[in-house]
Structure 1
Amino acid sequence: MLKKILKIILKALAVIVIAVLLILAVVFIFNKVATKSEASKIHSYGQLVPVDGKKMNVLIQGEGEETIVLLPGYGTASPVLDFKLLIDELSPYYKVVAVEPFGYGLSDATDKERTTENIVSEMHEALQSLQIDQFILMGHSIAGIYGIEYVKKYPNEVTAFAGVDSSVPKQGNMDVKLPIGQFNFLKQAGIVRLVMQFGADPYDGLAYDDETKKQLKLVNLKNMYNSTTLNEMKNISSNFKAARELTFPNDLPLIFFIQANNTGVEGWIPLHEEQIKDSVHGKVLTFDGDHYLHHTKSKEIAESFRSFMNEIK
């Protein structure tokens, strides 16, 4: 009797395993077919510039005398489209240059290690290709780390830095080991697509037009957890460690637009106030909103930024 029960259990387990494998196979195949099909539905934007033997996508909008270079936060699949509301607010007054690093937006992927040094050098090469030699650097999230390195490496190019809920070198919990192998498996197996297809749309209810939302979803599906951004994820801890003792120059104008209530990082506001304490021109402004403040506060950010720049002239 016991053997019979055990036999039934084993058969049931075998059926479950086979069913799971079949489902995974269907999801895998669907992901491959859908990815190929969607590639033709993604509309081009910006321009491709040569960087390190590859192509980096950059959008330029506006014809102002001063130039703002926009850098995205980690994992923002399509920086140009994600920054659209902010670009539209800034471009009547500035020449706005939105850079899509390798692995982001319509830029190529790369096998080169995603160290801060490499990312900054590639960005510099892209701007040099466009003959952009002086600019205001505005960055979201981890661009606060890349930005401080850029200023250190190319001090004569950056005339001011503006952080949109930007990272700071001494914020805590940046040495956490992330499950990069698991993320890669989820991407390759098509499970990431499944979650994104049936999960909540992060742009739902925001002021983006329907076509932009559709394009954002397509580019997100293409770029989420690709090999380049997974390598960047692997380097996050070491990049923060390398930046820990870096500070912006005292004479560089600094303005930070940050979350008023960031519960994820201890001392979020004091950490930014520390960054400007010795600055000749420094300001910290807080806003109610989530980490992607430019999704809901682009108008306020642009107006506050223009006022700040007028004050320091």
Structure 2
Amino acid sequence: MAIVQIDKKELKSLTQPAGKEVRNSTKTKRVLHILLKIIVAVVIAILLFIATVYTVNKISSHAEQKRMEPYGQRIAVDGKQMNVFIQGQGEETIVILPGYGTAAPALDFKPLISELIPYYKVVVIEPFGYGLSDRTQKERSTANIASELHEALQSLQINRYILMAHSISGLYSLDYVNQYPDEVRAFIGLDSSVPTLSEQKIDSSDTEPVKWFRNLGFARLQLKLSADPYEGLPYDQQTKEQLNIMIRKNMYNNTQLNEAVSMYSNFKAAEQLNFPPDLPILFFVQANHPVTDRWIPEHEKQLEESVHGEMVLLDAGHYLYRSHPKEISDKIRDFTGGIK
């Protein structure tokens, strides 16, 4: 039998590749193990962060509930409770409707209310999902919203009034004044929406991530990282504190999200509507809209058929009643004095 002899150099060359493969395999496993640990640590950190945000939100919400100060009066509307705030003893009544998402309308309009109440009876209606009013699952169509507003005023036995609306409520008011022309003496728009400048269409499925965002407490974190919308404006500290509580209470609630879903169809439904020609109209409009150059021209179109229509341009943002309450109040007094 032949004996094959292998010297030491040949043996070393045969065994070396296998050693490298073992070392490489061990190194790869070690790297994968480290990566796995990092991934697990990151996942745990994310879960802990989410749990912390959720817990802080729950605890804070519970504490804020105790600090919330009731205002206004609650009346029965469509089987639920709607909050209404009334001040002033003037012979003329102004009914104020809020823009979309206004957390606490009665508090938000406070600077303007303070300027108006020496001369008017001021009624601020907080629609369902706003302020201290109940929430509702009923579709947020213009027809339903207008019907609820009218029921509230009928319950208060307010049958003749000037309607003043901010933002999206201007769209609802367009339908409202055509339904109840014998009740509305005049319309005042506070940078009110126009049907020809529609909002983007939102499906109900688009609101699901927002609900998760809200339920996990990230809406509170978002507000914490945002600028104070009332900084430098004529609101006392107590009112600002209550406004911040109400913002956290009502932000992204289901009723307002349902209103966002209905918004596109509400705009479309209003495209064929016009203000009655004999209805006095006063528009307060921001002079420099940040998005469209059609803001002023489209408001001018709404005044074309009006026998008593005026537009006042203000160097202000969308919430112009917060920054220019006296200027607005003075013009309203001048305007209403001319329609008596």
| TM-score class, shorter | over 0.9
**Which residue in the other structure is 1:273 paired with?**
300
**Which residue in the other structure is 2:21 paired with?**
none
- The amino acid across from 1:58 in the alignment is V
Instruction: Describe the superposition over 1:177-228 as per-residue Cα deviations: whole angstroms up to 9, x where unpaired.
Output: 6942222111101011112124221111111001000000000010000111
- The amino acid across from 1:84 in the alignment is K
**Offset at residue 7 of structure 1 (A):** 2.4
Superposition CA RMSD, Å: 1.3
**Offset at residue 172 of structure 1 (A):** 4.3
Alignment partner of 1:113 is 2:144: no
- The amino acid across from 1:238 in the alignment is S
Identify the match of residue 93 of structure 1 among 108, 116, 119. 119
**Which residue in the other structure is 1:166 paired with?**
192
Identity %: 53
Q: Report if the CA contact (8 A) 1:60-1:96 is conserved.
A: yes
Instruction: Describe the superposition over 1:244-300 as per-residue Cα deviations: whole angstroms up to 9, x where unpaired.
Output: 111100000001001000022331001110000110000111000110000111100
Identify the match of residue 319 of structure 2 among 287, 292, 295. 292
Identify the match of residue 75 of structure 1 among 79, 87, 101. 101
Q: Report if the CA contact (8 A) 1:172-1:265 is conserved.
A: no
Separation (CA, whole Å) in 1 of partners of 2:294 and 2:215: 38
Identify the match of residue 164 of structure 2 among 138, 141, 165. 138
- The amino acid across from 2:115 in the alignment is E
Separation (CA, whole Å) in 1 of partners of 2:336 and 2:280: 9
Secondary structure class of the residue paired with 1:246: coil
Identify the match of residue 156 of structure 1 among 169, 182, 191. 182
Separation (CA, whole Å) in 1 of partners of 2:261 and 2:203: 8
Secondary structure class of the residue paired with 2:67: coil
Instruction: Describe the superposition over 1:126-151 as per-residue Cα deviations: whole angstroms up to 9, x where unpaired.
Output: 11110001110000000110101111
- The amino acid across from 2:291 in the alignment is G
Match runs of 1:17-96 below 5 Å: 17-96=43-122
**Which residue in the other structure is 1:220 paired with?**
247
Identify the match of residue 128 of structure 2 among 85, 102, 121. 102
Identify the match of residue 257 of structure 1 among 260, 274, 284. 284
Separation (CA, whole Å) in 2 of partners of 1:251 and 1:87: 27
Separation (CA, whole Å) in 2 of partners of 1:264 and 1:144: 19
**Which residue in the other structure is 2:16 paired with?**
none
Separation (CA, whole Å) in 1 of partners of 2:35 and 2:270: 56
**Offset at residue 68 of structure 1 (A):** 0.4
- The amino acid across from 1:91 in the alignment is I
Separation (CA, whole Å) in 2 of partners of 1:137 and 1:143: 10
Secondary structure class of the residue paired with 1:44: coil
Q: Report if the CA contact (8 A) 1:164-1:256 is conserved.
A: yes
Secondary structure class of the residue paired with 1:171: coil
Gaps of 5+ in 2: 1-26
- The amino acid across from 1:218 in the alignment is I
- The amino acid across from 2:164 in the alignment is M
Alignment partner of 1:129 is 2:146: no
Give the number of equivalent residue pairs.
313
Identify the match of residue 14 of structure 1 among 32, 40, 53. 40
Identify the match of residue 238 of structure 2 among 211, 220, 243. 211
Instruction: Describe the superposition over 1:112-170 as per-residue Cα deviations: whole angstroms up to 9, x where unpaired.
Output: 11111111111111111100011100000001101011112222111100000000111
**Which residue in the other structure is 2:12 paired with?**
none
Identify the match of residue 175 of structure 1 among 179, 201, 222. 201
**Offset at residue 175 of structure 1 (A):** 3.3
Match runs of 1:189-208 below 5 Å: 189-208=216-235
TM-score, length basis structure 1? 0.97
- The amino acid across from 2:308 in the alignment is H
- The amino acid across from 2:317 in the alignment is D
- The amino acid across from 1:205 in the alignment is G
Alignment partner of 1:283 is 2:310: yes
Q: Report if the CA contact (8 A) 2:210-2:252 is conserved.
A: yes
For the structure 1 residues 150 and 172, does the alpha-carbon distance in structure 2 shift closer, same or farther, using more than 3 Å as the test?
closer
Gaps of 5+ in 1: none
**Offset at residue 9 of structure 1 (A):** 1.2
Secondary structure class of the residue paired with 2:282: strand
**Which residue in the other structure is 2:13 paired with?**
none
Secondary structure class of the residue paired with 1:40: helix
TM-score, length basis structure 2? 0.89
Q: Report if the CA contact (8 A) 2:95-2:162 is conserved.
A: yes
Secondary structure class of the residue paired with 2:230: coil
Separation (CA, whole Å) in 1 of partners of 2:243 and 2:337: 34
Secondary structure class of the residue paired with 2:83: strand
